[in-house]
Amino acid sequence: MGEASNKAKHVVLTEEMRAGMLGDNPFIPAYDFLFAMVESIYTASGGIDHQLIGIDFQDGKPTGINVVAIRRIEDVPRLREQMLQRWPLVAHVFEAWVAPDTSASPSKHPERFDVVSIMLNTSDILASAPCRVDPVRRTIERAELIFPDRVGGRLGRELPTRH
Protein backbone atom coordinates (compact mmCIF):
# COMPACT_ATOMS: atom_id res chain seq x y z
CA MET A 1 0.00 0.00 0.00
CA GLY A 2 2.79 2.43 0.92
CA GLU A 3 4.58 1.59 -2.30
CA ALA A 4 1.57 2.52 -4.43
CA SER A 5 1.18 5.88 -2.69
CA ASN A 6 4.90 6.58 -3.14
CA LYS A 7 4.61 5.89 -6.86
CA ALA A 8 1.65 8.23 -7.12
CA LYS A 9 3.77 11.06 -5.67
CA HIS A 10 6.60 10.44 -8.14
CA VAL A 11 6.60 13.26 -10.70
CA VAL A 12 8.69 13.00 -13.86
CA LEU A 13 10.51 16.29 -14.35
CA THR A 14 10.04 18.19 -17.58
CA GLU A 15 12.91 20.27 -18.93
CA GLU A 16 11.00 23.42 -17.95
CA MET A 17 10.61 22.18 -14.36
CA ARG A 18 14.31 21.22 -14.25
CA ALA A 19 15.42 24.62 -15.56
CA GLY A 20 13.26 26.42 -12.99
CA MET A 21 14.79 24.41 -10.15
CA LEU A 22 18.41 24.61 -11.32
CA GLY A 23 18.63 28.29 -12.22
CA ASP A 24 21.42 29.70 -14.39
CA ASN A 25 24.49 27.83 -13.10
CA PRO A 26 23.74 24.94 -10.74
CA PHE A 27 27.15 23.29 -10.95
CA ILE A 28 29.13 25.52 -8.58
CA PRO A 29 26.54 25.47 -5.76
CA ALA A 30 26.06 21.70 -6.21
CA TYR A 31 29.82 21.11 -6.13
CA ASP A 32 30.26 23.29 -3.03
CA PHE A 33 27.42 21.40 -1.34
CA LEU A 34 28.74 17.94 -2.28
CA PHE A 35 32.43 18.58 -1.70
CA ALA A 36 31.77 19.56 1.93
CA MET A 37 29.85 16.32 2.43
CA VAL A 38 32.44 14.16 0.64
CA GLU A 39 35.32 15.80 2.52
CA SER A 40 33.64 15.16 5.87
CA ILE A 41 32.99 11.50 5.08
CA TYR A 42 36.44 10.89 3.57
CA THR A 43 38.39 12.47 6.42
CA ALA A 44 36.31 10.61 9.03
CA SER A 45 36.37 7.18 7.40
CA GLY A 46 39.26 7.17 4.92
CA GLY A 47 37.00 6.27 2.01
CA ILE A 48 33.80 7.01 0.16
CA ASP A 49 31.20 4.53 -1.04
CA HIS A 50 30.33 4.32 -4.73
CA GLN A 51 27.06 6.21 -4.98
CA LEU A 52 24.60 8.20 -7.02
CA ILE A 53 23.13 11.23 -5.29
CA GLY A 54 19.92 12.91 -6.39
CA ILE A 55 20.12 16.58 -5.44
CA ASP A 56 17.01 18.60 -4.67
CA PHE A 57 17.13 22.22 -5.88
CA GLN A 58 15.04 25.29 -5.30
CA ASP A 59 15.74 28.61 -7.06
CA GLY A 60 19.23 27.47 -8.13
CA LYS A 61 20.33 26.29 -4.67
CA PRO A 62 20.74 22.70 -3.46
CA THR A 63 18.33 21.92 -0.63
CA GLY A 64 18.76 18.20 0.05
CA ILE A 65 20.14 14.90 -1.15
CA ASN A 66 18.96 11.35 -1.81
CA VAL A 67 21.72 8.73 -1.85
CA VAL A 68 21.66 5.44 -3.76
CA ALA A 69 24.52 3.02 -3.00
CA ILE A 70 25.95 1.35 -6.11
CA ARG A 71 26.51 -2.37 -5.91
CA ARG A 72 27.17 -3.08 -9.59
CA ILE A 73 28.93 -0.52 -11.77
CA GLU A 74 27.01 -1.70 -14.84
CA ASP A 75 23.80 -0.41 -13.19
CA VAL A 76 25.03 3.21 -13.06
CA PRO A 77 23.77 4.43 -16.49
CA ARG A 78 20.27 3.01 -15.95
CA LEU A 79 20.01 4.25 -12.35
CA ARG A 80 21.33 7.70 -13.28
CA GLU A 81 18.73 8.03 -16.05
CA GLN A 82 15.97 6.92 -13.70
CA MET A 83 17.12 9.37 -11.03
CA LEU A 84 17.26 12.25 -13.54
CA GLN A 85 13.53 11.79 -14.07
CA ARG A 86 12.98 12.76 -10.44
CA TRP A 87 15.93 15.02 -9.48
CA PRO A 88 17.18 17.94 -11.56
CA LEU A 89 20.83 17.08 -10.91
CA VAL A 90 22.39 13.70 -10.08
CA ALA A 91 25.94 13.31 -8.76
CA HIS A 92 28.05 10.20 -9.31
CA VAL A 93 30.70 9.85 -6.59
CA PHE A 94 33.35 7.13 -6.50
CA GLU A 95 36.99 6.40 -5.76
CA ALA A 96 39.37 5.80 -8.66
CA TRP A 97 42.98 5.83 -9.77
CA VAL A 98 44.34 8.49 -12.09
CA ALA A 99 47.62 8.35 -14.01
CA PRO A 100 49.74 11.40 -14.83
CA ASP A 101 50.06 10.29 -18.48
CA THR A 102 48.74 7.69 -20.91
CA SER A 103 51.79 5.40 -20.96
CA ALA A 104 49.82 2.78 -18.99
CA SER A 105 46.31 2.34 -17.71
CA PRO A 106 45.78 3.99 -14.32
CA SER A 107 45.51 0.62 -12.54
CA LYS A 108 48.97 -0.38 -13.85
CA HIS A 109 50.74 3.00 -13.89
CA PRO A 110 53.65 3.19 -11.40
CA GLU A 111 52.87 6.86 -10.64
CA ARG A 112 49.12 6.49 -10.25
CA PHE A 113 47.31 8.33 -7.49
CA ASP A 114 43.97 8.04 -5.76
CA VAL A 115 41.05 10.40 -6.35
CA VAL A 116 37.45 10.75 -5.35
CA SER A 117 35.63 11.60 -8.55
CA ILE A 118 32.61 13.87 -8.28
CA MET A 119 30.55 13.95 -11.47
CA LEU A 120 27.52 16.23 -11.73
CA ASN A 121 24.89 15.25 -14.31
CA THR A 122 21.90 17.14 -15.60
CA SER A 123 19.76 15.87 -18.45
CA ASP A 124 22.09 17.43 -21.03
CA ILE A 125 25.53 18.14 -19.56
CA LEU A 126 28.13 16.76 -17.17
CA ALA A 127 30.71 18.48 -14.97
CA SER A 128 33.43 16.63 -13.07
CA ALA A 129 36.14 17.07 -10.47
CA PRO A 130 38.86 14.47 -9.76
CA CYS A 131 39.70 15.30 -6.12
CA ARG A 132 43.10 13.90 -5.19
CA VAL A 133 43.22 12.03 -1.89
CA ASP A 134 45.92 10.85 0.48
CA PRO A 135 44.62 7.57 1.92
CA VAL A 136 47.26 7.47 4.65
CA ARG A 137 46.59 10.96 6.01
CA ARG A 138 42.86 10.83 5.08
CA THR A 139 42.94 14.13 3.26
CA ILE A 140 41.17 15.24 0.12
CA GLU A 141 42.05 18.19 -2.12
CA ARG A 142 39.31 20.21 -3.72
CA ALA A 143 39.83 19.90 -7.49
CA GLU A 144 38.79 22.41 -10.09
CA LEU A 145 35.34 21.65 -11.44
CA ILE A 146 35.67 20.96 -15.15
CA PHE A 147 32.64 21.55 -17.30
CA PRO A 148 32.00 22.58 -20.87
CA ASP A 149 30.46 25.94 -21.60
CA ARG A 150 28.55 24.28 -24.44
CA VAL A 151 28.08 20.85 -25.94
CA GLY A 152 29.61 20.09 -29.33
CA GLY A 153 30.36 17.10 -31.51
CA ARG A 154 33.63 15.58 -32.58
CA LEU A 155 36.23 18.12 -33.62
CA GLY A 156 34.14 20.97 -32.23
CA ARG A 157 31.29 20.64 -34.71
CA GLU A 158 27.89 21.85 -33.55
CA LEU A 159 25.43 19.14 -32.67
CA PRO A 160 21.85 19.31 -33.90
CA THR A 161 19.22 19.91 -31.24
CA ARG A 162 17.53 16.68 -30.19
CA HIS A 163 13.82 16.55 -29.49
Which residues is 140 bridged to in the sheet?
A: 133
Domain boundaries, the chain: 11-147
Of 148, 149, 119, nearest to 31 by C-alpha is: 119
Task: Please determine, for residue 151, whether its predicted confidence score (pLDDT) is greater than 80.
Answer: no
Confidence at 39, pLDDT banded by 50, 70, 90:
very high
Mean pLDDT of 27-44: 96
Under 8 Å between Cβ of 84 and 90: yes
Compute the distance between CA of residue 63 and CA of residue 6 in angstroms, rounded to an integer.
21
Cα distances from 22 to residues 18, 88, 112, in angstroms, run: 6, 7, 36
pLDDT mean across residues, the chain: 88
- Determine the pLDDT at residue 25: 85
Nearest CA-CA partner of 67 in 44, 45, 41? 41
Task: Give me the helices (H) in the chain, please.
Answer: 2-9, 15-22, 27-45, 76-84
* C-alpha to C-alpha distance for 103 and 96, rounded to whole angstroms: 17
| Contact by Cβ (8 Å): 40, 95 | no
pLDDT score at 1: 40
Give the CA distances from residue 47 to residues 123, 132, 146, in Å, rounded to whole numbers and listed in that order: 28, 12, 23
> Quick check: helix, strand or coil at residue 54?
strand
Give the mean model confidence (pLDDT) for residues 7-24: 84
Length of the chain as a residue count? 163
